[in-house]
Amino acid sequence: MPTFTKHDDYMTPNSAWDNIKEYIPKVKIWEAFYGDGESGKHLTKLGFDVIHEQIDFFNDDELPEYDCIVSNPPFSRSKDVMQRLKELDKPFIIIMPSSKINTSYFRENYMNNGLQIIIPPKRIHFLKLVEGKLVENYKSSCSFDCFYYCYKMKLPADIVWLE
């Protein structure tokens, strides 16, 4: 009997967006992966014009009018997400594990094509949900590093190290 259930219900802590607020453009942003809804609320509190509704990121018929995607997509769908972002060809900032940059789909879609990276000052510790509820007493120390992958963001450098 398995003791581990794989799922993508890890929510973005407010600190992850606080870290990069100066790099998020003041345009209409789409927080494309709804999760528990808190991420979009926090981005709005930071002063951004945010679309954050339960919209299917992969369905062209549901796409909202937006200028930039700022989101933390489900890591298990990284390949699909990166291919979709390439199709959309709009500016984005997404959080994903640092190891994703070594995958063939990252190379195929973004090698020598304007990808920039923001490296957080420490690991992002995501909030775990099970069946839509925050897990109490969850040890939130993440075992892997994440980057903010950025496209068409015109950052001051291709790699930005946060302090």
Rounded-to-integer distance, Cα 154 and Cα 23, Å: 9
Arithmetic mean of pLDDT over the chain = 87
Q: In the predicted model, is pLDDT for residue 78 greater than 80? A: yes
Which of 134 and 111 is assigned the larger pLDDT?
111
At 81, is the pLDDT very low, low, confident or very high (cuts 50, 70, 90)? very high
Q: What average pLDDT does range 76-86 have in this prediction?
A: 92
The answer to whether the CB of 117 falls within 8 A of the CB of 97 is no
- Per-residue pLDDT reduced to its tens digit, 10-37: 778 889 999 999 999 999 999 999 888 8
Which of 53 and 111 is assigned the larger pLDDT?
53
Rounded-to-integer distance, Cα 52 and Cα 71, Å: 10
Structure tokens at 145: 């590093």
At 108, is the pLDDT very low, low, confident or very high (cuts 50, 70, 90)? confident
- Per-residue pLDDT reduced to its tens digit, 42-66: 999 999 999 999 999 999 998 999 9
